[in-house]
Amino acid sequence: MSTFDLEYTICVIQRDVFSFAAKSHREENGDPKLDITIDQHTVIWTLSDLDHGISETIAGAPQADRIDFYFRLEVLKQSLSGFPAPQAPRNGQLRLPPTNSSGTERREGKRVRIAAPVCRFYPLSSVRLLVHRPPAFEAFATDAQLHLDIETGPARVYGHEIFEVHFGVQADYGTAALSATGASRAVLTMTHELYSTIVSELRWAIR
C-alpha cells in the first residue's frame, strides 16, 4: 500500500431519514490521505480521515450525493512519481470528455472556479462509503464516473488562490445500515487498465 497526502476530502450523502456530510481539510488540522493498494485483479483507492471533520446536518432541499478529494497541485507534482507503477496499458476509451462543473460547491454554497477541466474516467468498478458515526450506514454504487479537473483553492482559506487537482465521483448510491465498527472511509475500486489511464492523464495534466 502507498499513501499520499490530500489537501481536502468531502463526502455528502443525504436521504429522508438521515444526512451525513463530513470533511477533512489540512488547513483545519485534518490529515486526509489517499491509500493506493494493488492486487492481482484490481486497484483500490481508499480515502481516510473522514471522521476528523465535523458531521453536518443538511437542512432544506436534498443535496447531490458526492465524494470529492483534492491534491494541492505542487504536492501532487512531487508525489505522482511515487504512485504504484501501472500493471496494464492505458486505454483511451476509458477517458471521456469533461463536463463543466463550474458553479456552486453545493446549493447556495461557495463558488467553484475551474482552472482547467481535464476529463472523466469510466467506469469505476465500485464505490463504497462506510460511515461509522450514528446512524452508521454504507453508501454503495457499481456504476460510477470519476471526474478530474484543476480548480483554484480560495484566497479566503489560503490568503491567496492556489491550484488544486480535484477528483469527484458521480454515482447513484444505494444505502444500507452498517453494523461493523471502525474508521469511516471511502473505497474506490478500479481495473488495472483504468488505473493506468488515470496515471497517464495525470502525468499529462500536471506536467
What DSSP string describes 92-148?
GGGEEPPP---EESSTT--EE-EEEEEEEEEEESEEEEEE-SSSPEEEEESSEEEEE
pLDDT of residue 60: 61
What is the biggest distance separating any 2 CA atoms in the chain, rounded to whole angstroms? 46
Instruction: Compute the CA torsion angle 150, 154, 160, 162 (nearest 10 deg).
Output: -20
pLDDT of residue 109: 43
pLDDT of residue 135: 77
Instruction: Compute the CA torsion angle 104, 189, 176, 18 (nearest 10 deg).
Output: -20
Q: Say which residues have a Cβ less than 8 Å from residue 59's Cβ, sequence separation at least 6.
A: none
Torsional sign, CA 139, 145, 146, 149? negative
Tell me the one-letter amino acid at 180.
Answer: A
* Cα–Cα distance, 176 to 118 (Å, whole number): 33
pLDDT of residue 167: 97
* Cα–Cα distance, 152 to 158 (Å, whole number): 11
Per-residue pLDDT of the chain (207 residues; tens, 9 = 90+): 999 999 999 998 887 666 777 889 999 889 999 999 999 999 999 999 988 766 665 556 666 899 999 999 999 999 999 999 999 999 999 999 998 655 444 443 454 566 688 999 999 999 999 988 777 889 999 999 999 999 988 877 888 888 999 999 999 999 998 887 788 999 999 999 999 999 999 999 998
pLDDT of residue 157: 80
pLDDT of residue 116: 83
* Cα–Cα distance, 76 to 14 (Å, whole number): 31
pLDDT of residue 103: 46
* Cα–Cα distance, 13 to 21 (Å, whole number): 6
